[in-house]
Amino acid sequence: MSEPLLTVEELCVCLGEERHVAVEDLSLELRAEERVALLGPSGCGKTTTLRAIAGFEPVRGGRISFEGRVQSDAGGVRVPAHRRGMGYVFQEFALFPHLSVEENVGFGLRKQSRADATKRIAEMLRLTGLEGLEARRPFELSGGQQQRVALARALAPSPRLLLLDEPFSSLDPNLRGTTRRHTERVLTSVGATALLVTHDRDEAMSFADRLIVMRAGRAEQAGTPEELYAAPRSAFVAEFLGAANFVEGEATGQSARTALGEVPLRVPASGTVSLCLRPESLELVVEGGAPARVVEREYHGASCIYGVEGEGFQVAVLAVGDAPFRKGDAVGVRVRAPAVVLEG
């Protein structure tokens, strides 16, 4: 396996006059052409981490290395942001209002010859679908077009690493998905390595090869989207990545006794346990299963989410296809997949 392009070791970052600890003991690696997302709620330290990697924030502890060279550490090393060879797309795009699209894209190419810069600008405009808009100012563009200008500007100097700070959050919901998919195609076409900061789980799970879920300045869990969704370590990670049901039980090896009946476990356990079951891990049946009653029904066409209550439990159940049950119906709840034993 190749050496990591970016290595963050036991990072600690403090902010403000009171030196509030915003990031603590955070470690991560990023390899060439990989896409990783820092995912978490507002205030969890994900943007501070990105800014420290970019060189905008000093570090109090730990080390940041890029391409094998230390960029920041607690001993006073701090390579200026403009010398790190990284591109940065800001949440509000931070375009220069007095410059045209062409001038914004070419801003980081001032050390190149005019011919080389002109060629690179044209290449970036074509890649991001901005041809024909070269002379426009940012205020004359839509939100999606502004985002593409910001992306083109960040990619124009050919950075080895692109840092994206919630670049789709200011777009309306309909435009957000389209712009994200376009950005993914652009990054793939140029073989870019990217680190994305977002609080949107769908965005992170569709964009990234790996996720790092952050909580209160620390990494709560890291892995592929599939790994984290299927096997969250904590209730926090489980809920942040999607709908989840939590039930208590007494484990005796491969299964646990719960209010839903005997539930199989993904990993053997013993004693009192807290279990996580996704809504799609349950099903409603007419006969059998744990007795319950439908109290909520959300129909979505291809699927339906039921809220059901029984003795000692209240769970959500996802049904795909037919949705024959209505509020008030007596049903049985059956477990169709092993439960995850939560660590905390």
Write down all domains in the chain, each with its CATH number in brackets.
6-232 (3.40.50.300), 243-341 (2.40.50.140)
| Entry pTM | 0.91
Give ∠ CA 170-173-174 in degrees, rounded to 5.
125
Q: Dihedral of the CA atoms 226, 212, 95, 14 (nearest 10)?
A: 170
Distance between CA atoms of 120 and 157, rounded to whole angstroms? 9
pLDDT score at 332? 98
- How much is the average pLDDT of 188-209? 94
Could you tell me where the DSSP H helices lie in 222-271? 225-230, 235-240
Spell out the residues 6+ positions from residue 312 whose beta carbon is closer than 8 angstroms to its own: 259
Residue 87's pLDDT band (cuts 50, 70, 90): very high
Query: What's residue 1's pLDDT?
Result: 63
Q: Are 235 and 246 in contact (CB under 8 A)?
A: yes
pLDDT tens digits, residue range 16-66?
A: 876 789 999 999 999 999 999 999 999 999 999 999 999 999 999 999 999
Least confident range of 15-19, 172-176, 187-191: 15-19
Compute and round to an integer the Cα radius of gyration of the chain. Answer: 24
Q: What is the mean pLDDT of the chain?
A: 94
Rounded Cα distance, 64 and 81, in Å: 13
CA dihedral angle for residue 89, residue 45, residue 235, residue 301, rounded to 10 degrees: -20
The yes-or-no verdict on residue 314 having pLDDT over 70 is yes
The crossing angle, in degrees rounded to 10, of helices 173-190 and 143-155 is 20
Helix (H) or strand (E) holding 187: helix 173-190
Task: Give the least confident one: 18-27, 238-247, 311-320.
Answer: 18-27
pLDDT digits (tens, 9 = 90+) for 102-157: 999 999 898 899 999 999 999 999 999 999 999 999 999 999 999 999 999 999 99
173 pLDDT higher than 90 = no
Residue 250: how many CB atoms within 10 A of its CB?
13
